[in-house]
Structure 1
Amino acid sequence: MTRTLTEPVTLRHGAVITNRIAMAPMQTSSGRRNGFVSDETIDYYAARSQAAGLLITEFHYVSENGGPCYNPGYPEQLAAYSDAHLDGLRRLAAALKKDGNKAVLQIHHGGYQAVGRALSGEDVLAVSGGDYPFLRYPVREMTEVEIEDVIADFGRATRRAIEAGFDGVEIHGANHYLLQQFFSATSNRRTDRWGGSLEARMRFPLAVVDEVMRVVDEQAPDGFIVGYRISPEELHDDQAGYTYRESMQLVAEIVRRGLDYIHLSLWHGYASGPADTDESYAALFRRVLDDETKLIVVGNVFSEEAAADAIANYGDLIAVGRGTLVDPRFAAKVMDGRGDEIRHEITPEALAETAWTSGLHEAFTRGDALGLQPLPGGESIRHLHTGRYDMKGLFRK
């Protein structure tokens, strides 16, 4: 039977999503020092409470040494590493859930991408020591104790998500952050039990999944959602940190832990696939999912038509990222039968309705969009860039 956008979806543990649209996690550049939410954070998410049936927050670092990962000079990444963050997490969950949709907290550790620690003169932790040519600051190899502490921190952050009223958590194992760093043969050069063979490189992400599931089993209400986000491949020129064949093996092990969904992080769009086959990543990864684990795909969706194609032919849910930046009421319009009214591109006039944070405004009005994927119509707002957060020369070799 063909999947349709507006039908509800029941996840493995009983949570019911009102439609097949998810809001993809996207950094809002709105946090205060040490990862606390700002009023801008809350306003941005409150404006997107009807963007999707499943609302996934931006990444929150779970250990004090896990972030912030952000563009220097811009407002910081959000955090969930201490109980002091609970009040902000409660405000965030309430803002997202106010119209009856499900809110999921994405939890994360930045590893060597925790640029904020470098700026503060603190150790930046990496899976392995040595030189990383693409970094402009030194890193230190994690100790066994630090590895175990970070695993426990994912469990503690999950407990905070439960206490704050979130409906679930998404474990961030994609985009070159710590879980991917452990899985990658390029960044993981350890010779102890955490590195070496594929099985050993899988050990850390699976330990995180196990700890999160332990906390959920002990403390979460019925229907609490757990998902895992993964980049299907790590390929750079002639180097392969891992291929889709290896990540499929990791996902097969994750699925055995009884998660609700797997979320593929797809830079080139929901229909994309590896270079050596005509099959899409979605088709390949479905082979290792069981009947109860949903598949979320993402990428290049700015219309109801594209979203419908994504769930009809690729995933169980389609995560819309930039599309909800442009139109915060993406799913609401689909559900109301007004999908033809979805805004497909950004314009200066539309900015007032986006509830963007000042950090997002500055990022997307830059010529380079801070390395983010450009928005349709983005060139029309370039003249609005103020440069208030732009900083140069922070790191010098």
Structure 2
Amino acid sequence: MKHLTDSITLRHGATLTNRIVMSPMQTHSGKRDGFASDETVDYYSARSQAAGMLITEFHYVSKNGGPAYTPGYPEQLGAYSDEHLEGLSKVAKALKKDGNKAILQIHHAGRAAIGQAVSGEDVVAPSTIDFSFLDYPVRELTNEEILEIIADFGRATKRAIAAGFDGVEIHGANHYLIQQFFSKLSNHRTDQWGGNLEKRMAFPLAVVKEVKRVVDLEKPENFIIGYRISPDEIHGSEIGYSAEEATQLIAEVAKYELDYIHLSLWGGYDSSPSNAEKSYAKLFKDVLDEETKLIIVGGVFSEASAQDAVENYADLIAVARGTLVEPKFAQKIIENKGEMIYHEISPETIDYVKWTPGLKEAFSRKDSLGLPPLPGGESIQDLHTGRFDMFYKK
């Protein structure tokens, strides 16, 4: 029987002190051009005991890869230049100060790089498509630009190593550029980067190959490499890709001997595709070898639900909103104080959670800025000041 407090040794030698992972979540704390702020570092420092492995929010790897953020709110963080190294190092140090592993999530927003549109710059994507949900145009990437972005993922990985992170997570989920290349809805290319399923896999696999190449070249000790994926992309009758196609991609990704695969699950850690007998976790576990661990996420706010996830579904459980309302999620379980975990936010715990000003404003809005609402969220709506809402469009 698996327990949350089990230590886990990953493929490349890193040992996690428990089976709990802090899921990547945007902190709304970055300065202009993606630099970490003091609030960024304080937020992550407060969560150094949230899990055995702590994954940062997404960091864009190319100058045109972000920021993906709400205009008016503090920006998304970046890792696209050596100038970001100082902030990256501070974040890594804050997360690692209690002996847990720090992972830098790296990504390119593609069509979601709203900061490019706000600045009057091109927003790039696999194909030039007039998306009804965007109020700005997107431009198709050239072959040369695609190759440069792939190289940027490698450069960001090298910066993660230099900054002291224990690993990187390639963000191939949540409708950002890697997923855009894999999706039939957003990739209409007819060259080597698009068309049939194999060609739509080409960009994700090229990014994985480049990240692995850099790690093999730099040889950091016990460095962790993970890949995050949305298990399918289905919007009513429109299908970007199915869970079956996603497992085919992950079967190819797994050949590069990564440490873990991370499923981004919006329906909960135990969710399943419609009309399917198996859960997403089971479907993806079936295509992984024993050394590639599976992480799932979704709806975990208590020790009991976290234990159910690792006992019945996956190797590791990522806790997202649960670590927003309880910064010491894993530590309380380790200390046999699981019953003392906070399960919701309240005015009484608002200082305890050490949110950034951007997070406080986002989650005190009635619409949570479009983010999944927090348990107890209605109790803090009186704290909303509107200081960042000037440019926000619903």
Q: TM-score, normalised by structure 1?
A: 0.98
> What does residue 335 of structure 2 align with?
336
Map Cα deviations across residues 336-389 of structure 1 (whole Å, 9 max, x no partner): 111110001110010010000000000000000011111111110111110000
1:301 aligned onto 2:305: no
What amino acid is aligned across from residue 256 of structure 1 in structure 2? K
The 5 Å alignment of 1:203-282 reads: 203-282=202-281
> What does residue 95 of structure 1 align with?
94
What amino acid is aligned across from residue 72 of structure 1 in structure 2? P
Map Cα deviations across residues 52-111 of structure 1 (whole Å, 9 max, x no partner): 000000000000000000011100000000000000000000000000000000000000
CA distance in 1, matches of 2:109, 2:145: 14
CA distance in 1, matches of 2:2, 2:69: 37
Deviation of 1:132 after TM superposition, in Å, equals 1.0
Say if 1:162 and 1:220, in contact at 8 Å, map to a contact too: no
Map Cα deviations across residues 142-169 of structure 1 (whole Å, 9 max, x no partner): 0000000000000000000000000000
What amino acid is aligned across from residue 331 of structure 1 in structure 2? A
> What does residue 371 of structure 1 align with?
370
Map Cα deviations across residues 296-339 of structure 1 (whole Å, 9 max, x no partner): 00010000000000000011000001000001000000001111
> What does residue 43 of structure 2 align with?
44
Corresponding residue SS for 2:349: helix
> What does residue 315 of structure 2 align with?
316
CA distance in 2, matches of 1:230, 1:382: 33
Percent of aligned pairs sharing the same letter: 66
Map Cα deviations across residues 220-269 of structure 1 (whole Å, 9 max, x no partner): 32210000000000001110000000000000000000000000000011
Corresponding residue SS for 2:94: helix
Corresponding residue SS for 1:350: coil
Deviation of 1:393 after TM superposition, in Å, equals 7.1
Deviation of 1:392 after TM superposition, in Å, equals 4.2
The 5 Å alignment of 1:44-193 reads: 44-193=43-192
> What does residue 200 of structure 1 align with?
199
CA distance in 1, matches of 2:320, 2:19: 14
CA distance in 2, matches of 1:297, 1:288: 15
CA distance in 2, matches of 1:83, 1:392: 30
| Range with bigger deviation, 129-138 or 156-165 | 129-138
CA distance in 2, matches of 1:275, 1:4: 30
CA distance in 1, matches of 2:365, 2:40: 21
CA distance in 2, matches of 1:394, 1:345: 27
Deviation of 1:26 after TM superposition, in Å, equals 0.1
CA distance in 2, matches of 1:71, 1:5: 36
Deviation of 1:24 after TM superposition, in Å, equals 0.2
> What does residue 24 of structure 1 align with?
23
What amino acid is aligned across from residue 151 of structure 1 in structure 2? I
Map Cα deviations across residues 271-308 of structure 1 (whole Å, 9 max, x no partner): 00100212100011111000100000001000000000
Corresponding residue SS for 2:169: strand
What amino acid is aligned across from residue 250 of structure 1 in structure 2? L
Q: Are residues 393 and 212 of structure 1, via their aligned partners in 2, closer, same or farther at CA, if it must alter by over 3 Å?
A: closer
- RMSD over aligned Cα, in angstroms? 0.9
| Range with bigger deviation, 60-69 or 128-137 | 128-137
Corresponding residue SS for 1:296: strand
What amino acid is aligned across from residue 230 of structure 1 in structure 2? I
Say if 1:4 and 1:312, in contact at 8 Å, map to a contact too: yes
Corresponding residue SS for 2:75: coil
CA distance in 2, matches of 1:384, 1:147: 44
What amino acid is aligned across from residue 179 of structure 1 in structure 2? I
What amino acid is aligned across from residue 72 of structure 2 in structure 1? G
Corresponding residue SS for 1:352: coil
Say if 2:71 and 2:392, in contact at 8 Å, map to a contact too: no
| Range with bigger deviation, 128-137 or 255-264 | 128-137
Say if 2:103 and 2:165, in contact at 8 Å, map to a contact too: yes
Q: Are residues 222 and 393 of structure 1, via their aligned partners in 2, closer, same or farther at CA, if it must alter by over 3 Å?
A: closer
Corresponding residue SS for 2:201: helix
Corresponding residue SS for 1:256: helix
What amino acid is aligned across from residue 189 of structure 1 in structure 2? H
CA distance in 1, matches of 2:250, 2:278: 18
Map Cα deviations across residues 100-155 of structure 1 (whole Å, 9 max, x no partner): 00000000000000000000000000110131111110111000000000000000
CA distance in 2, matches of 1:295, 1:147: 29
CA distance in 2, matches of 1:309, 1:220: 36
Say if 2:70 and 2:392, in contact at 8 Å, map to a contact too: no
Map Cα deviations across residues 193-212 of structure 1 (whole Å, 9 max, x no partner): 10000000000000000000
Task: Flag structure 2 segments of 5+ consecutive residues without an equivalent.
Answer: none
Say if 2:22 and 2:51, in contact at 8 Å, map to a contact too: yes
Q: Which runs of 4+ in 1 moved over 4 A?
A: 392-395
What amino acid is aligned across from residue 104 of structure 1 in structure 2? I
Count of aligned residue pairs for this structure pair: 394
